[in-house]
């Protein structure tokens, strides 16, 4: 018995395994040839061609079609630009077909963004064709528009040096500095055979015939076959879409071009190196046919075999999932053909398919497969028999004891304290002992894990169900979680029939939330949610895991509510409001709606005086009043801290106006009772815009209501004002210039001009630093300050004035243009002041200039006493000076002179103008000079524009002078004109 037990499995296997190892290579050959590997190898070679073709097709689509589609999906600037021109000219869409001047304005409107789209699209050309005359004396059939070609596609040159004008007005080309091509023409004129004009005609006529809507433009996009714009021009392919205005009028076509050279270059870049040579063919076929008309190609094999072919026909090999064709000299080819995603389903041009074919010679493609097949067929016959016999004998000898062990394991599977019989083979008996030890370890581990989970309050239950077994493994926690009873042991096995009954009874009314499968269970402790996960990755076995996710589900439901509702007021937040209103706008038919923005007038005062808790109570009180609208079908939301919005719907506008009037009376009944006993009545201002009269989309409707509310907040508070388009147009710079203004603040860069201030002897006393923003949508610094005031960004403007102004001074000083004693007059906003950190930075960077500073309190803002004294202290600390700017206007009056005690008074331009002819102005100036002499204040006259004014002011005793007659503001510091200096000295000598 002991001898048998000590026999090694290695001894019994050594001889047979040596033979088996020798024959192993032969067996592999047989398996390859007769096990389907050979066929898979061949299919794999063919599949490589298909994959390469698919990859090339995706690359081509990404570079061209898909990229263009993305561009056109974002090209609303064309229709918006046309509509803007029509609105500004008060014209109708049909006027485009007859008015060449209107067409020229449209082209000018969209040209710049069209060129930008050309650079971004990597196409070689961009065009727009309008259904109207090109010029006053042009032929009737010649259409207006433009066609610009880019010789540097993929690059971006700001000076348009890479562009050529193929079609369009010379004035447009001159405006954008685009040279005319040698094939240039004024407009688009049909040729004799009409082939070179189908890129415009087809999408245009199809859109007109189908009465396409504005949003359906991409459905009528058309990819043209190759054509020449002019007889001697290069061949190009265009992607065109009709231009459809919001009212459904089709006014023309716009699109992008790519020439065949560029197209073949893209195909060439996608060449895939492998064990065979490929060539690519891009062509067109009629849907349902097997003939391709070539458009572009790549690869030297195509030149060699198919260069003269006008059409290429093929046949499908369905067994190998590939197409086959034969070249003219008899060579057989494989072809993988893929349709390009050019047109959508049910489109007007879907029958005209664009395809990409990857072509390879059959002998090249299957060269590796044929070599392997020849090698394997020559080495598989006789050795295969020996390998089969050897494997059978060895398997019979060695697998029997292992088989018996496996059967015993199956019979005792799941038993606690597993004990197995020995087979008297050392290695197998050692394996048996190891299995028994592992079984004991698993039992201990299972007990530990169950104990840990129970003590950690993590309720997780598991089960394992096997189809062929008559019992199911279940954990104790599963029973307790699902209410099936109580177990003493950490786990057990129950009969499959009993397990199924438990499951059918427990899991009813399952709810699926996202990818989660949940079951709601009602018990003595209340409602519980159980999530269960099934894993069937192992065939014939299902592993189930159940976990208690009650807290998680309740938290998610809470988060879903918080996602849509404002936590403080329990009404919609801005995200939910937008969703609800957009849905309501889509549903609305034959009714009128209004979007009203509300702004609480007293909230900031309450927050600052009584604290934010009282402010929150004020917000909640007003939100409760707004629910009056929601009870009658309105949509109510809190949009920001003190801003609320409502969306009301009715049959007539007067009905909505009546509701708002009732609401304004309703809120008069409510007041906030503060802790101190003071009552704050609800005061609110509102702005209203009408849908669809004022706007047809949410963003525009919201902006118009916001604008109306803004005008109320800055005029008469406490009312609801309706949107006025004329008022909006007059103040549009506050919206149009916002982006430019914020960009200036972000970059912290702005230019400054220097205007000299002269003494009576014609010497430079100092320079006033005048901000010169480079804005397209705003005129003058006054509009900039208005926008800063509206956006509460006057502090940022103050900081920008100081830092950018002194930076400009340093630049002039380093250039040697600034002397060592001249004063620097800086306009400071009276209602704001620099922060302590900004003052430290200013002193650190520009400390050497601060003793020369003259702080001017600017016109247009009421002076803050605190800020005014801080600025006076700044000037005194720096040993600088303080000046009152624009004296005699706005908020700067005699009272501020008494409070400030300035060093300099700047007399306003309105007082200086024609003063030598106006006795009233002279009286005011005399009083001011008397006050200044008695208080040691220097008087500076600004706005001096003629010599008579200068001479009179000198005679009166004014000390300093500034104005266009002295010198205009310049971006660089320059000396005074000698002639002016001489005149000033002459006037001074007469005084």
Per-residue pLDDT tens over the stretch 595-636: 999 999 888 888 888 888 888 999 999 999 998 998 888 999
Return the top range by mean pLDDT from 52-66, 89-103, 425-439: 89-103
Share of the chain above pLDDT 70, in %: 82
**Which of the residue ranges 60-69, 91-100, 441-450 would you say has the lowest mean pLDDT?**
441-450
Please give the pLDDT value at position 948: 94
**Which of the residue ranges 324-333, 522-531, 948-957 would you say has the lowest mean pLDDT?**
522-531
Mean pLDDT of 965-987: 92
Please give the pLDDT value at position 6: 47
Return the top range by mean pLDDT from 57-61, 414-418, 662-666, 754-758: 754-758
Alpha-carbon span 988 to 991, nearest angstrom: 5
Mean pLDDT of 938-965: 94
Please give the pLDDT value at position 655: 93
Please give the pLDDT value at position 714: 66
Q: Tell whether the model's pLDDT for residue 5 goes beyond 60.
A: no
Please spell the DSSP secondary structure of 588-650, one letter per residue.
--S-EEEEEEEEESSHHHHHHHH-HHHHHHHHHHHHHHHHHHHTTT-EEEE-SSSEEEEEEEE
752 — pLDDT class (breaks 50, 70, 90): very high
Structure tokens at 388: 């089969």
Alpha-carbon span 648 to 596, nearest angstrom: 8
Residue 825: strand pairing partners: 768, 854
Please spell the DSSP secondary structure of 412-430, one letter per residue.
HTT-SS------S-HHHHH
Q: Tell whether the model's pLDDT for residue 410 goes beyond 70.
A: no
Per the model's pLDDT, the better-predicted residue between 810 and 27 turns out to be 810
Find the angle CA(256)-CA(261)-CA(264) to the nearest 5 degrees: 100
Per the model's pLDDT, the better-predicted residue between 350 and 990 turns out to be 350
Q: Tell whether the model's pLDDT for residue 17 goes beyond 60.
A: no
Which residues, including other chains, have CB under 8 Å from residue 729's CB and lie 6 or more apart? none
**Which of the residue ranges 33-47, 530-544, 788-802 would you say has the lowest mean pLDDT?**
33-47
Alpha-carbon span 241 to 105, nearest angstrom: 21
Please give the pLDDT value at position 511: 55
Structure tokens at 662: 């009732």
**Which of the residue ranges 70-79, 456-465, 765-774, 834-843 would you say has the lowest mean pLDDT?**
456-465
Q: Tell whether the model's pLDDT for residue 898 goes beyond 90.
A: no
Q: Tell whether the model's pLDDT for residue 865 goes beyond 80.
A: no
Measured in Å, how far apart are the chain's first and last C-alpha atoms? 142
| SS3 category, 541 | strand
Mean pLDDT of 942-963: 94
Task: Give how far Cα 299 sits from Cα of 52, 258, 265, 305, 307, Å.
Answer: 14, 20, 11, 11, 11
Q: What are phi and psi of 777, to 5 degrees?
A: -105, 0
Share of the chain above pLDDT 90, in %: 33
Mean pLDDT of 268-292: 79
Mean pLDDT of 74-92: 89
Q: Tell whether the model's pLDDT for residue 890 goes beyond 50.
A: no
725 — pLDDT class (breaks 50, 70, 90): confident
Please give the pLDDT value at position 105: 93
Sign of CA dihedral 845, 851, 853, 856: positive
Please give the pLDDT value at position 446: 62
Q: Tell whether the model's pLDDT for residue 326 goes beyond 80.
A: yes
Alpha-carbon span 624 to 621, nearest angstrom: 5
Q: What is the widest separation between alpha-carbon atoms in the chain?
A: 144
Mean pLDDT of 755-783: 86
**Which of the residue ranges 324-333, 498-507, 516-525 would you say has the lowest mean pLDDT?**
516-525
Q: Tell whether the model's pLDDT for residue 861 goes beyond 60.
A: no
Q: Tell whether the model's pLDDT for residue 855 goes beyond 70.
A: yes
**Which of the residue ranges 284-293, 359-368, 528-537, 577-586 would you say has the lowest mean pLDDT?**
528-537
860 — pLDDT class (breaks 50, 70, 90): very low
- Contact predicate 236/124, CB 8 Å: yes
Please give the pLDDT value at position 507: 73
Please spell the DSSP secondary structure of 79-102, one letter per residue.
HHHHHHHHHHHT--GGGGGT-HHH
451 — pLDDT class (breaks 50, 70, 90): low
254 — pLDDT class (breaks 50, 70, 90): very high
Structure tokens at 585: 């706008």
Please give the pLDDT value at position 2: 43
Chain centroid to CA 525: 49
Structure tokens at 128: 């727009």
Sign of CA dihedral 357, 361, 366, 368: negative
Please give the pLDDT value at position 274: 54
Please give the pLDDT value at position 35: 61
Q: Tell whether the model's pLDDT for residue 4 goes beyond 50.
A: no
Q: Tell whether the model's pLDDT for residue 380 goes beyond 70.
A: no
Structure tokens at 547: 């976990």
Q: Tell whether the model's pLDDT for residue 1 goes beyond 50.
A: no
Say what the pTM is. 0.41
Find the angle CA(169)-CA(172)-CA(173) to the nearest 5 degrees: 90
Mean pLDDT of 580-590: 89
Chain centroid to CA 760: 60
How do 332-339 and 322-326 pair as beta strands?
antiparallel
Q: Tell whether the model's pLDDT for residue 658 goes beyond 80.
A: yes
Please give the pLDDT value at position 672: 87
């Amino acid at each position: 018995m002991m001898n048998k037990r000590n026999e090694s499995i290695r001894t019994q296997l050594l001889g047979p395994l040596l033979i088996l190892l020798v024959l192993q290579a032969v067996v592999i050959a047989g398996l390859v040839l007769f096990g389907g590997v050979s066929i898979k190898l061949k299919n794999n070679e063919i599949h490589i061609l298909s994959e390469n073709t698919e990859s090339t097709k995706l690359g081509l689509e990404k570079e061209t079609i898909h990229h263009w589609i993305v561009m056109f999906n974002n090209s609303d600037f064309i229709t918006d630009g046309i509509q803007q021109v029509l609105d500004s000219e008060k014209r109708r869409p049909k006027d485009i077909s007859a008015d060449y001047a209107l067409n020229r304005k449209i082209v000018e409107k969209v040209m710049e963004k069209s060129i930008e789209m050309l650079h971004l699209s990597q196409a070689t050309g961009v065009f727009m064709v309008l259904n109207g005359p090109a010029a006053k004396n042009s032929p009737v059939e010649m259409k207006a528009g433009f066609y610009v070609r880019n010789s540097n596609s993929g690059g971006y040159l700001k000076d348009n040096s890479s562009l050529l004008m193929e079609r369009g007005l010379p004035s447009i080309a001159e405006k954008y500095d685009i040279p005319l091509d040698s094939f240039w023409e004024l407009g688009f004129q049909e040729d004799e055979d009409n082939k070179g004009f189908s890129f415009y005609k087809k999408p245009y006529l199809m859109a007109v015939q189908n009465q396409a809507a504005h949003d359906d433009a991409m459905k009528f996009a058309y990819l043209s076959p190759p054509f020449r714009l002019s007889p001697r021009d290069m061949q190009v392919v265009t992607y065109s879409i009709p231009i459809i205005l919001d009212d459904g009028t089709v006014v023309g076509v716009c699109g992008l071009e790519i020439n065949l050279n560029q197209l073949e270059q893209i195909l060439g870049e996608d060449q895939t190196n492998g064990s065979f040579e490929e060539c690519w063919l891009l062509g067109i076929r009629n849907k349902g046919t097997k003939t391709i008309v070539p458009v572009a190609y790549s690869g030297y094999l195509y030149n060699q075999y198919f260069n003269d072919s006008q059409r290429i026909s093929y046949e499908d090999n369905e067994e190998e999932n590939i197409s086959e064709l034969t070249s003219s000299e008899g060579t057989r080819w494989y072809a993988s053909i893929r349709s390009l995603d050019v047109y959508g389903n049910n489109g007007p041009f879907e029958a005209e398919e664009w395809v990409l074919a990857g072509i390879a010679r059959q002998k090249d493609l299957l060269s590796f497969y044929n070599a392997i097949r020849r090698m394997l067929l020559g080495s598989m016959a006789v050795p295969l028999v020996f390998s089969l016999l050897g494997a059978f004998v060895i398997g019979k000898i060695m697998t029997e004891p292992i088989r018996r062990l496996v059967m015993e394991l199956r019979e005792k599977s799941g038993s606690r304290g597993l004990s197995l019989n020995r087979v008297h083979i050392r290695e197998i008996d050692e394996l048996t002992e190891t299995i028994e030890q592992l079984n004991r370890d698993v039992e201990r581990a299972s007990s530990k894990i169950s104990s840990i989970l129970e003590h950690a309050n993590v309720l997780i239950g598991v089960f394992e169900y096997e189809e062929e077994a008559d019992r199911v493994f279940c954990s104790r926690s599963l029973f307790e979680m699902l209410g099936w009873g109580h177990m003493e042991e950490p786990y057990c096995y129950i009969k499959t029939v009993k397990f199924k009954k438990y499951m059918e009874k427990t899991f009813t009314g399952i709810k699926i939330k996202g990818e989660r499968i949940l079951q709601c269970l009602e018990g003595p402790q209340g409602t519980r949610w159980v999530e269960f996960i099934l894993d069937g990755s192992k065939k014939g076995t299902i592993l189930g895991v159940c976990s208690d996710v009650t807290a998680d589900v309740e938290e998610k439901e809470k988060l879903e509510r918080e996602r849509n509702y404002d936590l403080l007021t329990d009404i919609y937040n801005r995200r939910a409001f937008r969703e609800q209103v957009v849905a309501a706008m889509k549903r609305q038919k034959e009714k009128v709606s209004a979007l009203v923005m509300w702004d609480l007038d007293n909230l900031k005062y309450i927050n600052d005086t009584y604290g934010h808790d009282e402010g929150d109570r004020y917000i909640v009180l007003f939100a409760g009043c707004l629910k009056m609208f929601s009870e009658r079908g309105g949509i109510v939301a809190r949009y920001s801290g003190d801003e609320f919005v409502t969306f009301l719907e009715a049959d007539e506008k007067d009905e909505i106006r009546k509701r708002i009037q009732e609401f304004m009376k309703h809120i008069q009944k409510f007041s906030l009772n503060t802790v101190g006993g003071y009552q704050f009545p609800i005061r609110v201002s509102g702005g209203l815009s009408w849908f669809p009269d004022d706007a047809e989309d949410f963003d525009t409707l919201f902006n118009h209501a916001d604008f109306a509310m803004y005008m109320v907040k800055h005029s008469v508070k406490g009312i609801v004002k309706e949107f006025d388009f004329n008022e909006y147009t007059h103040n549009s710079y506050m919206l149009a210039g916002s982006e430019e203004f914020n960009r200036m603040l972000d970059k912290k860069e702005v230019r400054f001009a220097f205007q000299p201030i002269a003494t009576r002897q014609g010497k430079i006393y100092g320079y006033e630093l005048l901000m010169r923003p480079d804005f397209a949508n705003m005129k003058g610094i006054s509009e900039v300050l208005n926008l800063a005031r509206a956006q509460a960004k006057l502090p940022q403007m103050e900081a920008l004035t100081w830092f950018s102004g002194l930076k400009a001074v340093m630049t002039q000083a380093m250039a040697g243009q600034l002397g060592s004693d001249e004063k620097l007059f800086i306009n400071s906003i009276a209602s704001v002041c620099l922060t302590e950190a900004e003052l430290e930075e200013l002193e650190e960077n520009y400390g050497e200039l601060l003793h020369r500073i003259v702080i001017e309190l600017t016109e247009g803002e009421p002076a803050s006493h605190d800020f005014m004294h801080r600025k006076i202290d700044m000037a005194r600390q720096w040993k600088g000076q303080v000046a009152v700017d624009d004296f005699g206007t706005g908020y700067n009056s005699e009272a501020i002179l008494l409070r400030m005690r300035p060093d300099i008074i700047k007399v306003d331009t309105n007082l200086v103008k024609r003063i030598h002819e106006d006795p009233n102005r002279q009286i005011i100036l005399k009083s001011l000079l008397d006050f200044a002499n008695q208080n040691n204040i220097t008087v500076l006259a600004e706005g001096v524009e003629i010599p008579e004014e200068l001479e009179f002011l000198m005679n009166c005793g004014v000390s300093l002078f500034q104005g266009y007659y002295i010198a205009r503001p310049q971006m660089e510091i320059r000396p005074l004109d000698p002639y002016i200096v001489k005149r000033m000295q002459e006037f001074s000598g007469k005084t």
